[in-house]
Amino acid sequence: MSQIHYISSEILDLKTIAAILEEHKKLQLSEESILNINTSRTYLDKKIKNSKTPVYGVNTGFGSLCNVAIQDENLTKLQENLVRSHACGTGDYVPKDIVKLMLLLKVQSLSYGHSGVHINTVQRLIDFFNLDILPVVYNQGSLGASGDLAPLAHLALPLLGEGEVWSGDTIINAREALKKNKLSKITLQSKEGLALLNGTQFMSAYGVIALIKAHKLSYLADVIGAISIDAFNCNLSPFSPLVHYVRPHRGQIKTAARILSFLDDSEIAATEKENVQDPYSFRCIPQVHGATKDVIDFTTKTFKTEINSVTDNPNIFPADDLIISGGNFHGQPLALALDYLCIALSELGSISERRVYQLIGGLRGLPPFLVDSPGLNSGMMIPQYTAASIVSQNKQLCTPASVDSIVSSNGQEDHVSMGANAATKLLKVVENVETLLSIELLNAVQALHYRQPLHTSSFLQSFTKSYREVVPFADEDRIFANDIKLGKTFIGSLNIDPEDLY
């Protein structure tokens, strides 16, 4: 029997979302959410019936057409036209796990009772989530300001029996999917199309997925960095708590302590060192990895606020008898945080590549390119080339999207966040960092072999033993692309205690 997550005012966090997705939990509205949604809808219906005052998006046009009045008999057509006209996304398909998360986040935002949607509409979004009816959404088209309009329009189209959805790994017509699951199409009522399209759920879903991965990559960068430290026969004095308590950045202190714990009881670490100092890529792991940790924490707080917020427009306040047009759909907080995280994660990859470069240099008793018979074998020469190429691409991807803005909607929407572009390129940087850490792991474990008969710590021996079951020692040249790919799969499949991640 599937576990259930109840949609309520209880705070959603990364740990909860990760559990919902990984454990394939079903969604269900709490009594609190049902009351909130129904109260808001009842209030809006009465307001439309008893007042002819123009309310943006309810009985007016949209964007620069906000002063065009719409008759009551056309309110459904207005909302459905909105969804159809805004469904003009392009580019690549949004990954299905992100689409599923978009559904969850949209339901959460609508559940607070400030959007005026009908309970049936919210329930149908829940049906889509629970039945894996995942709309086909494209990753280009959002300016990240008047909500993620184009992506969310594609998310909403199947409610009308239009657009396309995923059926496993194939794409089918939404009407067919509804029929297959014995569901009827939804007839949108006043404001519902706007409530579905306004919002930051595209940016938020990308950001949340990136953050879940970022917490894991931050932990693994420390583990793999620790293997490299022993493989390069480094001093542990730079990781002394005394060093870090006099510059007490939280992430720095945490990283240094973690490295020492990972290398506890290492025979290699206990040996007397000939080298007085180590290169920055080893010695400054606490400062560099730690700074990234602090950015991850900052971005996590920003997104935690966002995914527990109402981000459509206008906002309905039944208790105050008010409908207020505001700008909660503007993605500026997310755009800035996404760009910041992009830069921080890129630095994890950058310093990782520098450690690879040091390991293959024929220094400290290690053979050139970490292979027997160098010359006959090229060994780890070209994996470092690959890493350098990826690091360079990350630098290009780290150009901030949030510093750009293009006027839209005939000047009505004259400043936009470009947070959607920040979100999509961030995910590419995350994927690149996974590859870079796989390359470092390949090199570090290979180098560790040449430290025998001395052993690394018990913890790292266990870790490297598991890795060696997937990627064996390279005693001669082979197709290292396979090793990098297998290493990346190994990294992705590791189950790490959430308490070590969040």
Q: Both tokens of residue 105?
A: 């986040």
Cα gap 398→186, rounded to integer Å:
41
Paired with 172 in beta bridges are: 165
CB atoms within 10 A of CB 70: 18
Cα gap 354→75, rounded to integer Å:
60
Cα gap 6→8, rounded to integer Å:
6
Strands (E), 57-199: 90-93, 134-135, 138-140, 164-167, 170-173
Cα angle 310, 314, 320; round to 5: 85
Q: Both tokens of residue 263?
A: 């290398």
Cα gap 66→55, rounded to integer Å:
9
Residues 147/197, Cβ–Cβ less than 8 Å: yes
Cα gap 222→13, rounded to integer Å:
24
Cα gap 102→363, rounded to integer Å:
49
Residues with catalytic roles: 56
Q: Both tokens of residue 422?
A: 């920040």
Cα gap 44→469, rounded to integer Å:
61
Report residue 46: phi and psi, to 5°: -65, -40
Q: Both tokens of residue 348?
A: 């994890």
Local structure of residue 265 (DSSP, 8 states): T
Among 89, 85, 94, 129, residue whose Cα is nearest residue 111: 129
